[in-house]
Structures are given as structure tokens and as C-alpha cells.
Amino acid sequence: MSDFTYVAINRDGKEIKGTIEAGDINSARTKLKSDGLTPVTVKAASIFTKDISFGGKKVKTRDLSVFCRQFSSILNAGVTVVEALNMLAEQTENPALKKALSETCSLVEQGETLAGAMAKYPNVFPVMLVTLVEAGEQSGTLEMSFQRMSIQFEKTAKLQGLVKKAMIYPIVLLCVAVIVVIIMSVAVIPQFVEMFEDMGSELPFITQMVMALSNFLIHKWYILILCVIILVISVKFAGKTEGGQAFFGNLAMKAPIFGGMNVKSYSAKFARTLSTLVTSGLALSSALEITAKAMSNIHFKRAVEKSKSEIEQGISLSVPIRGSGIFPSMVPNMLAIGEQTGNVEEMLDKVADYYEEETELATQSLTAMMEPVIIVVMGIIVGFLVIAMYMPMISMYGGMGDL
């Protein structure tokens, strides 16, 4: 199969451009015609013309939020599903989403349900969205389903942004520290080396250590790069194994400073996702199954999957959630109250609101704390290197004074 770029006319007489996979140009033309398009030009895609999607074909959560909100508004205005898909496909800027919407529209025109058509693009439309769309089609509340999903995606995107914002400071600190050490080791320290060698006296251990580091970075830098590459590949490989996911998941929950914030973030996502699904009319068992798939931490995923198995045996949801030992006590307590009063969805919403706010406050506190820490750490690193270089000179001048 090869990629072909095309310019075609749709049934409304509008010119559209895109990329299509086919065995050859004739097959590409046939496929376009079967999708209701009239090909104008079709040619093999080059590296400069084909659609490029860095990091795979996944669409950002914020893009999905905008899509759902716009789709809901257009449907409420009385526009048909096909027309709405055409409109959004033309105006969206994300190549992967544009292509998926265009092809989804073609499938719907051929008689496929909207949920069925969207399900063919799992890398673009999450299972949760497809499930709610299917429920909306069956109940006649499709606009409401998209509205709920827009809120869900907005909350998720905000939560992801808060966590990333908190993580960026230590990453910046590490990068700046490494750059400073490299610059001083390669450009500054070598200027002192020849002078120290002429002195002939024994150098302090700290100076010898810094000089050894400088020599290593100048002459054997490729070893360092190779080690970094091996480390990155090893971490990615380990992250795909069950044992690696368990290790990194446990690290995310128990890491100093960040662990508590991550647990709050996971709890908020669990409560928000489950609430959205149950409010849309899904059975609790099905809602838990989808929620488990949405959890990025394997320990939370396992806890939700186990909860699904236990509620199918007649046990209240709050019992396995409490028994998992990883959720904050407020989550099972609020669930228990919701089960007693018959307002589980409302209690889940309150839990989600609470932990989203807690995550935001934790992020703000962490950000404020990390700013002076960065300055202090950088000062310590630079000070260490400066002291290591000037200690021999101070010793030499001290010896001259004794004479």
C-alpha cells in the first residue's frame, strides 16, 4: 500500500485535498469515487507532500474538546450529522482529525452509524467518546453526548496541563545544570589544566575529579551520548512491559513531592470519567471497564478492573475502591454516601472537582517552590566548579606567603 495525494470535488461541489492509501493510482481513484468524490488530480505522495503526523496519529485532548463542543453546537442548530462532519472536517487544522472526520463522513453517507464509523479510527476517537456517541444515537440525545464529552475532554486537558506544568521545572533545572557543567568543562576548565600541570604540586582531590570530568567530556563524549541513548531505549522498552509499567506506576505514586499530586490527578480522572459515563446512561459495569482503559497508571487500572469484577458479584463499588489501598480515603467515603443516597454521579462530580482543585493548588505551590530551588542548585553547581579550579591557586599563593 502506498500514499497518494489528491484533489477532488465532493457532492456539494467543494474542492477538497487529502491523502489516501491504495495499491496504485487507479485503485486510489476508484476508492475516491466510492467515497462520493470526483478525482481531479491523484499522484504519489512524496516526503514533502504527504501528511506527516509526528508522534503517531493521536489527536490532542484539547482538539477533541473543541471538536465535541462545536459538533454539539452545530447539531443543536438543526444541521444534519453529515453536514456537521463536512463543516468540521474543512475547518479543523489537525491533519489526523481532518482525515478521520472526512472519512467518517463518507462512511455515514454510505449508511454507517456515526459511532460505528468513528470506531474505525481508534487512534483518533477514544473508546469513551465512541461509546457515548452510540448511547446518544440510541437515546436520541446525540447533542448531549457530545456536550458531556466536550466537558470531559476540557477537564482532562486542564489536568494534564497542570501536571506537565509541575514537571517542567525539574526538567528545566536538570537541562540547565547539564549545559552549565558541559560548557565549563569544555571551554573554561581546560584553560586551567596547563597552568596546574606547570605547578608540579599535588592537586586537591576535588580539582582532580573536575579535571577528569573535563577530559572525559572532551575526548570521550561519544560514550556519554551512547549511554543516554541506551538509557532512553531501555526506559521505553521497560515501559511497554507489565513489570516496567508496575515499577513506573509505583514510582509516580510514591515519588517525593510529585507522588501526592499524581495520586490526586489519577483520582480526579477516575471520578470525572466514571461520572460522565454513568450520567450518560451506561451500566456501572460497562462504565468501569471504559474507565479502566482511560487510566494511565497500571495500579489504578488494575484497581478499577478488580472493582468491576466485584460489583458484578453484587458488592458495592466503595468496598473494592477502599480495599485497593491506592485511592485517598475521601474517594470511597464519598462513593459510600452516594450509594446510600442514590446520588453516585453527583458524588463523583464533587470528588472530581475537589481533586482537580487540589491538583491545581499543588501545582501552584510546587511551581513557587521550584523557582528559588533552581537558583540555589545552579549556584551550588557553579560554585563547586569555581572552588575546584581556584583551590590550587589559593594553596600556591598561601605557600608563597609562608616564604
Structure confidence by residue, pLDDT tens digits, 59-98: 888 889 999 999 999 988 888 898 999 888 888 888 888 8
Q: What value does the mean pLDDT of the chain take?
A: 83
Give mean pLDDT, residues 229-251. Answer: 90
Instruction: Please give the Cα distance from 139 to 288 (Å, whole number).
Output: 21
Query: Which set of grid coordinates corresponds to residue 397?
Result: 599563593
Structural contact between residues 197 and 215, judged by C-beta atoms closer than 8 angstroms:
no
- Is pLDDT at 403 greater than 50 in this prediction? no
Q: Let me know how long the chain is.
A: 403
Residue 321 pLDDT grade (very low, low, confident, very high; cuts 50, 70, 90) = very high
306 φ/ψ sector (left φ>0, alpha ψ -120 to 50, else beta): alpha
Please state the separation of Cα 253 from the chain's center in Å: 17
Confidence at 54, pLDDT banded by 50, 70, 90: very low
How far, in Å, CA of 4 to CA of 87, rounded?
A: 23
Do residues 303 and 321 make contact, with C-beta atoms less than 8 angstroms apart? yes
CB of 271 closer than 8 Å to CB of 331: yes
What is the average per-residue pLDDT within 136-143?
Answer: 85
The dihedral of CA 194, 197, 202, 205: what is its sign? Answer: positive
Q: Which residues contact 24 (CB under 8 A, 6 or more apart)?
A: 2
